[in-house]
Amino acid sequence: MNATTRRMIIPLLFGLIGAAVLAGLGLWQLDRLAWKEAALADIAARIVADPVALPVSPDPVADRYLPVTVDGRFTGDWLDVLVSRREIGAGVRVIEVFETEGRRVLVDRGFVAEADRALLRGADATTVIGNLHWPDEVDSFTPPPDPKTGLWFARDVPAMAEQLNAEPLLIVARSPTDARIEPMPVDTAGIPNNHLGYAVQWFGLAAVWLGMTAYLLWRIRRRTV
């Protein structure tokens, strides 16, 4: 083994091991991609399944996205959550208390344009079909509700339930509850699935690592020729 070969061994091993680690991370992301796609397919099927009666004590994990049907009446106690719709502009989600079998739960009735916020919302007896949801929309950057406009900036279910004197339980309507309110049903669009992009990044880094290793080996060989 000549001197040039000895000088190239460590950079070569370092390059191969580093590229293998990066490629391994790419393969792991592909595995995660397959898992996430299967999970999203399961959620999508669950969302549109036949609705069942509202559980007595819903579980935030086991009953997430569970389709339910409830009979009762809207109470007229509501709050508005700021939201924007493409090609429509600013508006609100209407979160209203729904009385059913002695319980007061929250229903996300859907979207109302800003100009229609003042419209009266009926309190007639009705049936609501929707999905149980525990949205994760609140973080340290979420401002508190605006006392002047009454607008909320996220669906903070526990806080909304406390203000409206209801159970901390949200049903997102998937069918209209009023002709003036457009349902915004639960779907999988808001569930992130970036694993393919991460895999491409890791494989790209592995290719760059190999390219840098080849360049370094070329420089070592060139200096010793």
Tens of pLDDT, residue by residue over 176-210, are 888 888 898 887 776 677 888 888 999 999 899 99
What's the CA gap between 181 and 71, in Å, rounded? 19
Contacts 24+ apart (CB under 8 A), 19-28: 19/206, 19/207, 19/209, 19/210, 19/213, 20/206, 22/202, 22/203, 22/205, 22/206, 22/209, 23/202, 23/203, 23/206, 25/202, 26/199, 26/200, 26/201, 26/202, 26/203, 26/206, 27/199
Report field, pTM of the whole predicted structure over 0.85: no
**Percent of the chain's residues with pLDDT above 70:** 92
- What's the burial of 104, exposed, middle or buried (CB within 10 Å: 0-12/13-18/19+)? middle
> So where are the chain's domains?
3-42+193-224, 66-173
Mean pLDDT of all residues belonging to the chain: 86
Would you state the pLDDT for residue 121?
Answer: 63
**What pLDDT band is residue 46 in, cutting at 50, 70 and 90?**
confident
pLDDT band at 136; cut points 50, 70, 90: confident
pLDDT for 124 equals 67
pLDDT at residue 123 in the model: 61
Task: Judge contact between 152 and 170, C-beta under 8 A.
Answer: no
The helix (H) or strand (E) run that includes residue 106 is strand 103-113
Tokens for 186, please give them: 């639960």
